């Protein structure tokens, strides 16, 4: 989470957040880092009424990006380590575990129990996964996929703070970021404008076009489990 004088930025994994954080923290005076991957509920009390900037990504593309990024070092991220069986599972099986993680099934309960062992207790000093044991203990909803659940958790969906969120699309990251800042009457200085226009993408992973990773069954499973984001933001496969 980054705090500016007139806004907060919430960094949802694999949505271009490293680029946005770097622009804000290094090129926008008066910004500061509140906490890495902090969700809306951890907003400092004095800043709770500030508008929030964040980004969303096509769910089918998001799962490919998440898998490809973590598969490079499968032991680093405890969530990936558990769901992929230390990197042994391929994309299909790992993502199916992720989509059904909140289900009331033996497999899902077993995975959550394993996560309860390896996840940290707090986000303090946590520079990676941005997920804790208490967070995961609240994920018991068979109707929603992990990515939609994370989005709702990060941006306070269903709380009194939900309406303060302004969400752009990762697919148009630079243009939408400028639009969101302009709507909040936050001008960009020369340094920030130059970074926005010319800096390369950050924290990316190499993979084929996301459509190539899905068979019809997994494609439709994402459509069911992440219908919240797909319908809300008009995404298509």
**pLDDT tens string 66-89:** 999 999 988 889 999 999 999 999
Identify whether residues 227 and 126 lie together within a single domain.
yes
Identify whether residues 64 and 36 lie together within a single domain.
no
Identify whether residues 116 and 144 lie together within a single domain.
yes
The reported pLDDT for the residue numbered 172 is 97
The reported pLDDT for the residue numbered 205 is 82
Identify whether residues 66 and 130 lie together within a single domain.
yes
The string of DSSP letters for the chain reads -EE-SS-EE---TTSSHHHHHHHHHHHSTT-EE--TT--GGGS-GGGTTS-EEEEE--HHHHHHHHHHHHHTSTTTSHHHHHHTTTTTS-HHHHHHHHHTTTSSSHHHHHHHHHHHHHS-S-STT--S----HHHHHT---TTS-HHHHHHHHHHTTTSTTGGGEEEEEGGGHHHHHHHHHHHTT----HHHHHHHHHPPP-S----S-GGGG--HHHHHHHHHHTHHHHHHHT---
**pLDDT tens string 189-219:** 999 999 999 998 887 888 999 999 999 999 9
The reported pLDDT for the residue numbered 201 is 86
Identify whether residues 96 and 190 lie together within a single domain.
no
Whole-model pTM over 0.85: yes
Determine, yes or no, domain membership for 189.
Answer: yes
Identify whether residues 67 and 118 lie together within a single domain.
yes
Determine, yes or no, domain membership for 19.
Answer: yes
Identify whether residues 98 and 136 lie together within a single domain.
yes
**pLDDT tens string 148-163:** 999 999 999 988 888 8
Identify whether residues 125 and 215 lie together within a single domain.
yes
Query: What rounded mean pLDDT belongs to the chain?
Result: 94
Determine, yes or no, domain membership for 150.
Answer: yes
Identify whether residues 17 and 41 lie together within a single domain.
yes
Determine, yes or no, domain membership for 89.
Answer: yes
Please count the structural domains in the chain: 2
Identify whether residues 128 and 220 lie together within a single domain.
yes
What residues make up the domain containing 187?
A: 2-57+157-198
Determine, yes or no, domain membership for 203.
Answer: no
The reported pLDDT for the residue numbered 67 is 97
Identify whether residues 229 and 131 lie together within a single domain.
yes
Determine, yes or no, domain membership for 96.
Answer: yes
Determine, yes or no, domain membership for 143.
Answer: yes
The reported pLDDT for the residue numbered 127 is 64
**pLDDT tens string 85-129:** 999 999 999 999 999 999 999 999 999 999 999 999 988 876 677
Identify whether residues 107 and 126 lie together within a single domain.
yes
**pLDDT tens string 123-148:** 887 667 789 999 999 999 999 999 99
Determine, yes or no, domain membership for 129.
Answer: yes
């Amino acid at each position: 989470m980054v705090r500016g004088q007139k806004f907060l930025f919430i960094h949802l994994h694999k949505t271009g957040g490293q680029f946005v954080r770097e622009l804000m923290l290094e090129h926008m005076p008066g910004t500061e880092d509140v906490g890495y991957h902090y969700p809306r509920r951890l907003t400092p009390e004095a800043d709770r009424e500030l508008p929030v900037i964040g980004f969303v990504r096509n769910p089918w593309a998001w799962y490919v990006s998440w898998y490809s990024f973590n598969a490079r070092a499968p032991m680093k991220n405890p969530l990936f380590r558990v769901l992929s069986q230390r990197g042994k599972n391929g994309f299909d099986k790992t993502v199916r575990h992720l989509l059904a993680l909140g289900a009331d099934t033996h497999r899902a309960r077993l995975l959550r129990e394993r996560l309860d062992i390896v996840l940290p207790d707090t986000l303090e000093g946590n520079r990676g996964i941005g997920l804790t044991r208490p967070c995961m203990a609240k994920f018991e909803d068979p109707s929603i996929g992990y990515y939609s659940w994370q989005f709702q958790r990060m941006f306070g969906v269903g709380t009194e703070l939900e309406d303060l969120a302004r969400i752009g699309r990762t697919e148009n990251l630079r243009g939408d970021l400028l639009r969101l800042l302009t709507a909040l009457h936050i001008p960009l200085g020369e340094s920030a404008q130059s970074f926005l226009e010319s800096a390369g993408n950050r924290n990316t992973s190499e993979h084929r076009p996301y459509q190539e990773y899905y068979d019809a069954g997994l494609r439709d499973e994402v459509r069911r489990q992440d219908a919240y984001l797909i319908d809300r933001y008009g995404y298509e496969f």
